[in-house]
Amino acid sequence: MFGDYSISDLGAILAMQGFAGLILFSVYVLMALGLAIIFGQMGVINMAHGEFMILGAYVTWMTSNAVQHVAPWLFPGYFFIAMILAFIASGALGMLVEWALIRHLYKRPLDTLLATWGLSLILQQAYRSIFGAREVGVELPEWMMGSWQATDSIQIPINGMFVMALTMLITIAVAYVLFWSSWGKQVRAVVQNRVMAGAVGINTEKVDRYTFGLGCGIAGVAGSAFTMIGSTGPTAGQLYIVDTFLVVVFGGAASLFGTIASAFSISQTQSTLEFFLSGSMAKVITLLTIVAILMVRPQGLFALKVRK
Amino acid sequence: MVINSRFFNRSELLGFLALAVLLLVILPLSLDIFRLNLVAKYLTYAFVGIGLVLCWGYGGILSLGQGVFFGLGGYCMAMYLKLEASSVANTKIQSTPGIPDFMDWNQITQLPLFWKPFHSFPVTVLAILLVPAFFALIIGAAMFKRRVGGVYFAIITQAIAAILTILIVGQQGYTGGINGITDLRTLHGWDIRTDHAKFILYFVEVVLLFGCIVAAQFIRLTKLGRILVAMREQEDRVRFSGYSVANFKIFAFCAAAVFAAIGGAMFTLEVGFMSPSFVGIVPSIEMVIYTAVGGRMSIFGAVWGALLVNFAKTSLSESFPQLWLFGLGALFIAVVLAFPNGLSGIWADHIQPRIDRLFASRKSKSAAGLVADGAPAE
């Protein structure tokens, strides 16, 4: 397995695979953050989460096309506009879905799974009808292309670094909003005890709606970031949904830090294994390990001690 | 075990008879063999549905991995049929005669060890029943003994479905990869591709289906079925009453797995191939959809759900391929939001009382009323 490589080659491979793993980690974290809010905090199993992400990706694609035609001078920075638009679009759709669908189902978590699966089918078909079945990719501005030559044998793509920086920023922002802002306190109060939160004057319906919207909005930003490293198709969201749920469950559903730690360990395991085995076997082994660990430790890596 | 004095009550008996008349008389007489074969394909999902009624409707355990068991049953059967189809005489042109064609394409020169038992038909039948039950036992024991349930169980079973699909697709030389196991010809020397064979297989399947319905009804009416319902409502109280909650859950999950596997094996026989596209996450969730639409609390409802949703799927996707997914999604949302008990719930709440009233008023008038339609829901 190691025979054909020299030590320095192996080091370079590990570094580059490690970096590929970091990009995967960023995508996982971005997707899992939204899900950790929706699933971990609200207890809603949102199977359409991947489709919210794809909405963000399509918004980015449309923005990039629009900017290219209307205001080419904006193109180097279009990505930041696209990200905001993606957040607004996915968040607004999320709030609409919460109002129409989810709020009737808070007491039946398994049914949210079925209903949002129906929603994801509808959204997928809608994307297919509107944007076509073919995958689309955005054009990256000049400064994001190419790679940074760290040493002779190590190359690190710039768009990957950008995605990672973005992930870090968003994570910090989400942590701030949830744990230090007064709105975040309201969210956590509603999650822990809906009735009491209502009794002390929190508008629980409004908090629910905005929380769900925030989770979906972050998914939209994740989709936006996703366009920089891959192409987007109507069913791309479904490829990631199981992985994302596993990330959240493996990390411990209510723990934001656990989500990040589990995204890190899963993505690193997978991308390192991918180099030595075939891609599918790497994935099988990673998933099997997670399932096995979850069978031994069902509460996940970092669990809040809560009396049921 | 205490069994109720009556195995089927009046409306269940009517439902059973209506289903029997429809499946054994009306459909075979009115459909051509192509359509009848399609119905047979739909009915294979009814097996899964019956299992889901037991474990989801009664036990409250939502498994999103029934495709795994459906696939295991189907693959066991397909392996037997494939070995029979790739006899040395049939595979002369291969570089290694006597092994399945896809193995030859993947430069495998010897039959893998786990394929060998499938030379024998009795072993295959045993494997169809025992392999899925064994898998379900391991998964169930690992999860339920640690009191993992509800949402987490659903997500983990879903992950297992994903793992098995990736594994089958990735290990092309051993499993046939994404194409699955195709080109199946004979069952114990009997050609399954002829119209006559398909006709007979349909009846075999319907008889098996009724067997499963009776078995599920039996489980439902024994003490075990009652404990399942009690567990779904108040798990802790059942535990404090001294019952081993985990063991009952494991049993329900294993039973559902075996039902699904029978369906999968029949699927292979009816359709003539098996592929990973019937194993993964999407088919597993679709199987839950059929059950939810038919009614998660009704064994007959699950059969009707499988028939009607698949019928709608075929006819809609033939004529409006764009609309089908919109329709399926909307149906699913509507069932969850408005009719949590599905078609059988609508039947029991709205149609049954009217028929009863009609029946009662006619009876009082002429003392001879006839109720023609006994189907649960349409």
> With a CB-CB cutoff of 8 Å, which residues 263-292 of chain B face chain A?
281-282, 285, 288-289, 292
Give chain A positions within 8 Å (CB) of B143. 295, 298
Span B201-206, average pLDDT: 92
The whole-number pLDDT of residue A11 equals: 77
Distance CA A262, CA B108 (A): 38
Span B204-209, average pLDDT: 93
Give chain B positions within 8 Å (CB) of A113. 62, 64, 151, 154
The whole-number pLDDT of residue A88 equals: 95
More confident residue, B369 or A265: A265
> With a CB-CB cutoff of 8 Å, which residues 159-178 of chain B face chain A?
159-160, 162-163, 166-167, 169-170
Please give the backbone phi and psi of residue A37, each rounded to the nearest 5 degrees, phi first: -70, -50
Interchain CB contact of A284 with B (< 8 Å): yes
Tokens standing for residue B201: 């297989």
Distance CA A219, CA A241 (A): 11
**B125 alpha-carbon distance from chain centroid:** 17
Chains A–B, number of C-beta pairs less than 8 Å apart: 114
Question: Is residue B369 predicted with pLDDT exceeding 60?
Answer: no
User: Is the CB of A118 less than 8 angstroms away from the CB of B288?
Assistant: no
Interchain CB contact of A130 with B (< 8 Å): no
Chain B residue with CA closest to A128: the answer is B322
pLDDT-based confidence at residue A220 (cuts at 50, 70, 90): very high
Start-to-end C-alpha separation, chain B: 35
**What percentage of chain B has pLDDT greater than the value 70?**
94
User: Is the CB of A115 less than 8 angstroms away from the CB of B336?
Assistant: yes
Q: Which of A234-243, B247-256, B329-338, B360-369 has the lowest mean pLDDT?
A: B360-369
Long-range Cβ pairs for the range B348-352 (8 Å, 24+): B348/B298, B351/B377, B352/B11
pLDDT-based confidence at residue A305 (cuts at 50, 70, 90): low
Question: Is residue B77 predicted with pLDDT exceeding 90?
Answer: yes
Interchain CB contact of A54 with B (< 8 Å): no
Q: What would the pLDDT profile of A187-203 be if each residue is shown by its tens digit?
A: 888 877 888 888 998 88
Interchain CB contact of A185 with B (< 8 Å): no
More confident residue, A275 or B125: B125
Does an H or E element contain B191, and which?
strand B190-191
CB-based contact B268:B182 (threshold 8 Å): no
Give chain A positions within 8 Å (CB) of B328. 118, 121
More confident residue, A275 or A282: A282
A41 CB burial (10 A radius; 0-12, 13-18, 19+): buried
Test the A interface: residue of B166, B239, B325, B335 with most A CBs within 10 Å: B325
Q: Which residues have CB under 8 Å from B140's CB, separation 6+?
A: B249, B250, B253, B254
The whole-number pLDDT of residue A194 equals: 81
Q: What would the pLDDT profile of A9-42 be if each residue is shown by its tens digit?
A: 777 777 777 777 788 788 888 888 888 888 877 8
Q: How far from B257 is each of A178, B7, B80, B224, CA to CA, in Å?
A: 42, 24, 20, 17
Give chain A positions within 8 Å (CB) of B290. none
Interchain CB contact of B339 with A (< 8 Å): no
Q: Which of B154, B162, B330 sits opposite A118 (nearest CB)?
A: B330
Its ipTM equals 0.82
Give chain B positions within 8 Å (CB) of A283. 166
User: Is the CB of A295 less than 8 angstroms away from the CB of B143?
Assistant: yes
Mean of pLDDT over chain B: 85
User: Is the CB of B337 less than 8 angstroms away from the CB of A101?
Assistant: yes
Q: Which of A18-32, A62-76, B362-376 has the lowest mean pLDDT?
A: B362-376
Interchain CB contact of A303 with B (< 8 Å): no
* Paired strand residues for B181: B274
The whole-number pLDDT of residue B2 equals: 43
Distance CA B286, CA A74 (A): 45
CB-based contact A237:A136 (threshold 8 Å): no
The whole-number pLDDT of residue B363 equals: 61
Interchain CB contact of B61 with A (< 8 Å): no
CB-based contact A272:A18 (threshold 8 Å): yes
Q: Which of B147, B329, B336 sits opposite A111 (nearest CB)?
A: B336
The whole-number pLDDT of residue B295 equals: 87
User: Is the CB of B158 less than 8 angstroms away from the CB of A242?
Assistant: yes
A182 CB burial (10 A radius; 0-12, 13-18, 19+): exposed
Question: Is residue B320 predicted with pLDDT exceeding 60?
Answer: yes
